[in-house]
Amino acid sequence: MFFKCENFQRVGAFKFRGALNTVSLLSDEEKSRGVVTHSSGNHAQALSLAASMLGVKATIVMPKNSPTVKVNATRGYGSEIVFCENNPESRVETCTKLIDEYGYTLVHPYNDERIIAGAGTAALELLTDYGPLDVVMAPVGGGGLLSGTSVATKGISSLTKVIGGEPENADDAFRSFRDGVIYPSIRPNTIADGLRTNLGDITFSVIRANVDRIVTVSEEEILSAMKILWERMKLVVEPSGAVSLAAAIKIKNELKGLRVGIIISGGNVDLEKFFAEFEVAQ
Amino acid sequence: MFFKCENFQRVGAFKFRGALNTVSLLSDEEKSRGVVTHSSGNHAQALSLAASMLGVKATIVMPKNSPTVKVNATRGYGSEIVFCENNPESRVETCTKLIDEYGYTLVHPYNDERIIAGAGTAALELLTDYGPLDVVMAPVGGGGLLSGTSVATKGISSLTKVIGGEPENADDAFRSFRDGVIYPSIRPNTIADGLRTNLGDITFSVIRANVDRIVTVSEEEILSAMKILWERMKLVVEPSGAVSLAAAIKIKNELKGLRVGIIISGGNVDLEKFFAEFEVAQ
């Protein structure tokens, strides 16, 4: 197995690739007006850093109940935070208002060809460094990483299988892929918080065309893969980032003897409690 | 800064280097009789794996109150465990008895030229890959890693400074180095459990001859370095393994603009509680 460790990526997740690619491709006029997105997760920090590196103003819409640590981290990369109510409608509404008022360009977290192409560079590097591979595996939430992975992989070696890993408790992509329609993600109840969203129309069509299979895994299987990564491989990986390995372990009999690439998507875990207990214990 | 990540080493710590070197250098007769050591930590697992790889029988003497997880891990590498009472005298006595009875060769955890030479290969690789370096830093407990690091470093580039990092709460090496006599480590009270031992006569003389300085760090500084390694660098590092970075941060003004090599000695942390809480939280 060959691991692409996107937990080592800037801002601790693959999201930086898509954000940097997208902001880079904006016109000078778009750049001068600035970018906006709604996210409280890795995409917010990724866009903030990418924009600041390219001298572009970024505004991030976040629910007002977002954890202070995330708000500060995002602000730390130099972007402006605008708070909204704690529901999806308010997030979209607040974003739309900002776009109307200031002419910002919306940078969607996944449903965008530039985001997909950027995310695909992880698989591109993995195949360049360790190819040929028989299988490449990536987690799937909104589908940006999996669709990018599939385009990059099939573009380099069309015979390499691309397999997505998804939590059973948020299996909308599995069902959408099987049935050919986009299902919404209803009440996803998984520790893999980065994989709770449903596919977009663009990621869905790329995945339908290029991905070979989606394997779902239980919460126990995700935790068990995460444990292997932390205890045996000494890597801090977030639950979403361990889902590709969990899926590989689930189908290990089929992978026997094959060269398998595993994309570890990120490593942003809240360790405050862990370190607080460490201090108490000493 | 250039990090040598010995948390990624076999058995999760640099100890494997010295153990493998030592067992490799035994005569065929010594090999056929087997090896013994007393340890409940990384050295026990390192010797077990090294011996099993070379087809040599290993016997590990452990205090009978050792955590089951460590006993099982060591046994898992194929060695035999012999329990002793929970005091240093019983450990030595039990070892001596086994040596007398079976002719085992004692493999000391640090006070041995072969262990020191093996440990030094970490710095050798660091300098080969990223040299020239102005400073190389390693933690110091019994002194095997620091003495090996100093010999390798000075052998390659005599002008490179070698600096040890040690917990303030177990500063016997700092005082021994300063005063030129080996002080025992009395009631060391540090989370850096791998650095509680005092120097041996061999490691002491090598360190006196080759090390430039020992920097001590508080428990808070160790935890803070550990937090940077986990949160920002996504590396699972044990407290002892973070002490070299803690020392570097402590003297950061002096290191400004220099090329500094940091040896992260290991990553064996008990994560059971962390994962148990993770399961409860989901």
What DSSP state is assigned to residue A9? S
pLDDT tens readout for residues B213-234: 999 999 999 999 999 999 999 9
pLDDT digits (tens, 9 = 90+) for B37-76: 998 789 999 999 999 999 999 999 998 888 888 888 899 9
Residues of chain A with confidence (pLDDT) below 50: none
The nearest CA of chain B is from the CA of A206 a distance in Å of: 31
Is residue B279 scored above 80 in pLDDT? no
Active site residue A15: yes
Report pLDDT for A280: 67
Closest chain A residue to the Cα of B73, Cα to Cα: A232
Q: Supply the pLDDT for residue A186.
A: 87
pLDDT value of residue B179: 98
- Residue A282 has what pLDDT? 56
The nearest alpha carbon in chain B to A73 belongs to B232
According to the model, what pLDDT value does residue A70 have?
82
More confident residue, B279 or A199: A199
Interface A:B, Cβ pairs < 8 A: 61
* Helical ranges in chain A per DSSP H: 15-24, 28-33, 42-53, 68-76, 88-102, 113-130, 144-156, 172-179, 201-210, 219-227, 243-250, 252-255, 272-281
ipTM: 0.93
Any catalytic annotation for residue B227? Answer: no
Strands of the sheet containing B161-167, edge to edge, are B2-5, B260-264, B135-139, B161-167, B213-217
Task: Enter the tokens of residue B232.
Answer: 């920002």
Judge residue A180's burial from the number of C-beta atoms within 10 Å of its C-beta, 0-12 exposed, 13-18 middle, 19 or more buried: exposed
Active-site entry in B150, B185, B244, B265: B265
pLDDT tens-digit series, residues B143-186: 999 999 999 999 999 999 999 999 999 999 999 999 999 999 88
- All residues of chain A having their beta carbon less than 8 Å from the beta carbon of residue B219 are 282
Contacts of A273 in chain B (CB under 8 A): 277
- Considering only residues 151 to 190 of chain A, which have any Cβ-Cβ distance to chain B shorter than 8 Å? 190
The mean pLDDT of B90-111, rounded to a whole number, is: 96
Residue among B234, B269, B270 with most chain A CBs within 10 A, to mutate: B234
| B235-272 pLDDT per residue, tens | 999 999 999 999 999 999 999 999 999 999 999 998 88
Domains of chain A: 2-9+112-264 (3.40.50.1100), 12-106 (3.40.50.1100)
- pLDDT of A275 reads 87
Q: Determine the pLDDT at residue B70.
A: 82
* pLDDT (average), residues B108-132: 97
How far apart are alpha carbons A204 and A182 in whole angstroms? 7
Residue of A nearest to B237 (CA): A234
Q: What is the pLDDT of residue A87?
A: 85
Contact A219 B282 (CB under 8 A): yes
Judged by CB atoms closer than 8 Å, whether chains meet at B231 and A271 is answered as: yes
Please indicate, yes or no, whether the overall pTM of this predicted structure exceeds 0.90: yes
Q: Which residues contact B259 (CB under 8 A, 6 or more apart)?
A: B2, B130, B132, B133, B134, B135
Q: Confidence class of residue B274 from pLDDT cuts 50, 70 and 90?
A: confident
Amino acid at B2: F
Q: Which residues of A touch B191 (CB under 8 A)?
A: 278, 281-282
Give the span between the Cα atoms of A132 and A145, in whole angstroms: 20
Which chain A residues are within 8 Å of B7, Cβ to Cβ? 234
Is A191 within 8 Å of B278 when comparing Cβ atoms? yes
Coil, strand or helix: which one is A263? Answer: strand
Instruction: Name residue B163's beta-bridge partners.
Output: B137, B213
Q: What's the token pair of residue A97? A: 């208002």
- Residue B280: the pLDDT is 67
